[in-house]
Structure 1
Amino acid sequence: MVDYDGRMGRVYVAGRGMPAAEVRRWTAAFATYLPERRPLDVLDLGSGTGRLSPGLAEEFQGRVYGVEPSDRMREAAEQHPRVSYLKGSAEDIPLPEASVDAVLMFLSFHHFPDQLQALREVHRVLRPGGVALLRSQFSDVMPELFWYEYFPSAREVDAAMYLSVAQTKALAVEAGLVPGEDVVRITAEEPRTFGETYQRLSHRALSTFEYLPEDEIEPGFERFAADAERDPDRAMPVYDATTLVLTRPS
């Protein structure tokens, strides 16, 4: 388990923060898959430092509940008058039944110890016809991240953290949710240079680095830093974000 009350909690904002324009791109993309009516009440499940929670409140004009088990992450969360940050887990969401119109799981699903129970809880708190957006990597739909070349085990480590698309869909169906036929691909990430990408990754705020062999990390970052210094302004690729759309039947 990644300890977000420890080192990761200290470096998360520096390594994983989002500019306002990027938040707006994400929330506008999410709107494509959610009901058109406003306001919508949203659960940001595994909200971390709330990097998306205020943007969800602005986009959907309703209440947003950021549920996060880490005290440190909640304490660092960005405040908003319509956002409430709640201590809780995905397996025991501190909200009443049928209390939200949408649930966002943004790169949090792989952290849930009991993923089936978490999806049952998502089904419980969604109103009939509500939608859950499960933004995740999937073991059989992995991006070829350019920085994997610096850390030989990184791709294998990442793939081991995630279920396949079929496995995730099967859990959703067992929990009473209806998955969309296809994985949705969203492009909303902020374009960055080689130098900017190195600076963000150097904080080691990705779960990947918690599981990499120690003897890969320092040599990998040394080579990464040298390449970034030689070519800091090179534009880095923007990767599609894979997302499953899950609906609670009416």
Structure 2
Amino acid sequence: MRPIDYDTEQHQHYARGRALTQPQLHVWISAFDALLPDRRPLTGLDIGSGTGRFTPALANAFGPVTGVEPSARMREVAHAQSRHPAVRYLPGTAEDIPAPSGSADYALLGWSWHHVRDKPRAVRELARVLRPGGRLLLRTNFSDHHPRPWWLEYFPRGYEADASIFQPLHEVIAMFTSAGWRVADFGTVTEPSAGTRADVLERLRLRTLSFFAQLTPDELETGFHRLEQAVAVDPDAPAPVFAEPLLTLELR
């Protein structure tokens, strides 16, 4: 996939383009809660925390969280939106996490694994910062387990271009298990509707998804034209929901 520089391309609109409703956020936190140890507090890492979509909610639910984000502009937005007493944001990447060894009970990589350039190094680094028995919540798509959002069908090469960003599931699992992890769970999470079809179109126009960087200008123009025509038929209809994969790995 084409690398995205969030300091220059998406930081201004990312929070609005990728906003979650409270019901959607509740569904995700409940899913994470079911996969993490019962004891509280837990020390967490939000790797690729972006503008802090999840970080404050993780702190409210589980305990202190460090958001790790390479983009200075994205961290600035996160700070501006929420100054949670149990949250801090630090510069770093999945390959270079600013945390002591064995200091975290869990890590979330939410919608960010496809941006990790040196994945084998990230696997080792995640193992370094988690305690034995620590869990990694890996929310990412897989080329062979793709959620197929309803709006993708309107873009030329839509499904193909989006799936090409991601690895197949077996490849990701093999990468982790060969480095001492085990699969604790694999399932899907279905968010409540993101609003009306018109609401979703408005957010998509901000182009804060990595998918849009993979298309040509002509493909983008064609796709948005088709999508706008389809939404205009019934703009107030609820946006269709779809199931998103969640892989949970445990450090042996």
Shorter-chain TM-score tier: over 0.9
The one of 164, 186, 189 aligned to 1:186: 189
CA distance, structure 2, for counterparts of residue 227 and residue 15 of structure 1? 20
Alignment equivalent of 1:242, drawn from 241, 245, 249 = 245
What is the deviation of 1:190? 4.0
* Alignment-derived partner of residue 21 in structure 1: 23
* Alpha-carbon separation, structure 1, partners of 2:164 and 2:26: 31
- Please give the root-mean-square deviation of Cα atoms over the aligned residues, in Å: 1.3
Alpha-carbon distance, 1:189 to partner: 4.6
Amino acid at match of 1:25: V
- Asked if the contact 1:63–1:83 (Cα under 8 Å) also holds between the matched residues in 2, the reply is yes
Structure 2 segments unaligned to the other structure (5+ residues): none
In structure 2, how many angstroms separate the alpha carbons of the residues matched to 1:81 and 1:112?
A: 28
Q: Deviations over 1:83-132 (max 9, x none)?
A: 01000111010100011101101010010001111111111111111111
Which of 123, 134, 141 in structure 2 is aligned with 1:130?
134
Question: Normalising by structure 1, what TM-score?
Answer: 0.95
Provide the residue aligned with 1:204 in structure 2.
Answer: 207
**Which residue number in structure 1 is paired with residue 149 of structure 2?**
145
Give the partner amino acid of 1:17.
A
Pairwise CA distance, 1:56: 0.1
Alpha-carbon separation, structure 2, partners of 1:51 and 1:93: 19
Conservation of the 8 A alpha-carbon contact between 2:23 and 2:192? no
Task: Quote the Cα distance in structure 2 between the aligned partners of 1:114 and 1:189.
Answer: 34
- Paired with 2:193 and 2:230, the residues of 1 have a C-alpha distance of 21
- 1:175 matched to 2:175? The reply is no
CA distance in 2, matches of 1:223, 1:6: 28
For 2:66, the aligned partner's letter is: Y
Counterpart among 7, 10, 13 of residue 11 in structure 1: 13
1:241 alignment partner, SS class: strand
1:50 aligned residue: 52
Matched length: 247
Whole-Å separation in 2 of the counterparts to 1:19 and 1:111: 24
Q: Could you tell me which runs of 5 or more consecutive residues in structure 1 were left unpaired when the two chains were aligned.
A: none
Q: Which moved more, 1:220-229 or 1:68-77?
A: 220-229
Instruction: Give the whole-Å Cα distance in 2 for the aligned partners of 1:22 and 1:233.
Output: 19
Q: What secondary structure is seen at the aligned counterpart in 2 of 1:185?
A: strand
CA contact (8 A) 1:3 1:9 kept: no
Q: 1:40 aligns with which of 39, 42, 46?
A: 42
- Do the aligned residues in 1 keep the contact of 2:183 with 2:249 (CA within 8 Å)? yes
- AA paired with 1:248? L
The residue number in structure 2 matching 1:230 is: 233
- Relative to the length of structure 2, the TM-score reads 0.94
Aligned to 1:87: 91
The structure-2 alpha-carbon separation of the partners of 1:80 and 1:190, relative to structure 1 and needing over 3 Å to count, comes to farther
| Percent identical | 44
Q: Deviations over 1:108-159 (max 9, x none)?
A: 0010001111111111111111111101100111122221222111211111
For residue 187 of structure 1, report the CA deviation from its aligned partner. 1.9
Q: Provide, for residues 66-96 of structure 1, a one-character-per-residue CA deviation record: whole Å limited to 9, x for no partner.
A: 0000011100003211001000111010100
Are 1:63 and 2:64 counterparts? yes
Could you say what secondary structure the match of 1:228 adopts?
helix
Deviations 1:170-222 (A, max 9, x none): 11112321123x52111235442211111111111100001111111112212
